[in-house]
Structure 1
Amino acid sequence: MTKLFKEKYKKIFIIAVLVFSISIISTGCSSKKEVKEISVNKIVEEIKNESDISSLKERNNEKLEKLYDINSDEIEEFALYTASSNLKADELLILKVKDEKDLPNIEDKINKRIENQSDSFKDYLPDEYYLMEKHVLKTNNNYILFAVSKDVDKIENAFDSILK
């Protein structure tokens, strides 16, 4: 009777371990971080509510490619605003990247722009250089924010709050 008793509980134990393992595995698979799908236009609207970017000029694909060497095939949508004069550093770029694996490459391109702009302003326009130095470049899932502005903190907070 003890042998039969041991075999019965051994089977129950194995089944319990299997059920537990399957539940752990399925929980691990389902706990992936949920990515919010928000349009870039909605992010821009939130930023406009927090900061005045009316002095900036909205730009198109050609300007994005010229300034950042970012091909429109790499991104799902974008918003680019720059100062209307080359004497101002103010800039706002929001990208929704198609594939998160492209983020490092695109960030490198943005960093190259930052370096070029900083070099341009460093000796000639110290106030604009200061703005460049306190820029924000950050990612949130497949979104990228690059901002140069006196209101950079407000812009960053708006970006963060809408993508929470």
Structure 2
Amino acid sequence: MKKLLSLLLTVAMLCSLAACGGGGTKQADLPKVMEGMKAKLTNQEMMDLSAEDLMPNYGIDSADVKQFSAYVDSTGIKGDEIIFLEGKDADAAKRIKEKLDARYQQKETEMKDYLPEEYAMLKKCGVNQNGNYVSMIVSPQYEELNKIYDSAVKK
């Protein structure tokens, strides 16, 4: 019995050290990840968003957010929009994902009839969740940017 208890404790300790059930994510500095991407972006007419922009632009309560970085097209004629958020916990991440999914749907509706080229680009992009990290990358460079993001948040 003691051996079984000892074995179970050892397994529990190893799981906690190896982040068992951690959702396959690692700790990432999202503003730093965004800074690395900015140098690769071809759209030079983009601007950073602040925490005050989360509620009016996305419906996201800043109390749900541990850290974030957002960079969006400033001209209004391109669909480029990159936002990374880390939820304070799993429930917060779920709420953030729902809001970003809604934002993505809104962009689809807006672009479908008015910006067909941007709409085609948007359809190749998406919203993703890795543990408590949620991202929406809308860019003609989606594949390249998504690889950078994934390398920062996935184990």
CA contact (8 A) 2:104 2:127 kept: no
Q: Distance in 1 between matches of 2:43 and 2:90?
A: 28
Secondary structure at 1:123's aligned position in 2?
A: helix
The structure with the largest alpha-carbon Rg is 1
Question: Residue 111 of structure 1 corresponds to which residue in structure 2?
Answer: 101
| 2:138 paired with 1:148 | yes
Q: Which residue of the partner structure matches residue 115 of structure 2? A: 125
The equivalent residue for 1:100 is 90
**Structure 2: how far apart are the matches of 1:145 and 1:50?**
18
Contact 2:81 2:137 in 1 (8 A): yes
3-state SS of 1:31 partner: helix
1:5-47 per-position Cα deviation (integer Å, ceiling 9, x unaligned): xxxxxxxxxxxx4213321343134314265322212211332
Q: Which structure shows the higher helix fraction?
A: 1
- Does residue 22 in structure 1 map to residue 6 in structure 2? yes
Deviation at 1:148, TM superposition (A): 0.2
Q: Distance in 2 between matches of 1:52 and 1:100?
A: 34
Kindly indicate whether structure 1 or structure 2 has the higher relative contact order, using CA contacts under 8 Å at least 6 residues apart: 2
Displacement after TM superposition at 1:125 (Å): 0.9
The corresponding residue for 2:44 is 54
Distance 2:144 2:133 in 1: 17
Q: Secondary structure at the match of 1:78?
A: strand
Secondary structure of 1:45 counterpart: helix
Q: Are 1:64 and 2:30 counterparts? A: no
Aligned to 2:151: 161
Report the secondary structure of 2:48's partner residue. strand
Match of 2:77 in 1: 87
- Secondary structure of the corresponding residue to residue 114 of structure 2: coil
Cα 1:50–1:162 shift into 2, 3 Å:
farther
Q: Decide whether the 8 Å contact of 1:94 with 1:145 is kept in 2.
A: yes
* Alignment pair present for 1:136 and 2:126: yes
Structure 1, unmatched stretches of 5+, are 1-16
Unmatched runs of 5 consecutive residues or more in structure 2: none
C-alpha distance in 2 between matches for 1:142 and 1:133:
24
Task: Return the alpha-carbon distance in structure 2 between the equivalents of residues 146 and 110 of structure 1.
Answer: 7
Q: CA RMSD in A?
A: 2.0
CA–CA distance in 2 between the matches of 1:96 and 1:121?
Answer: 27
Whether the 8 Å CA contact 1:136–1:156 is kept in 2: the answer is no
Distance 1:42 1:84 in 2: 21
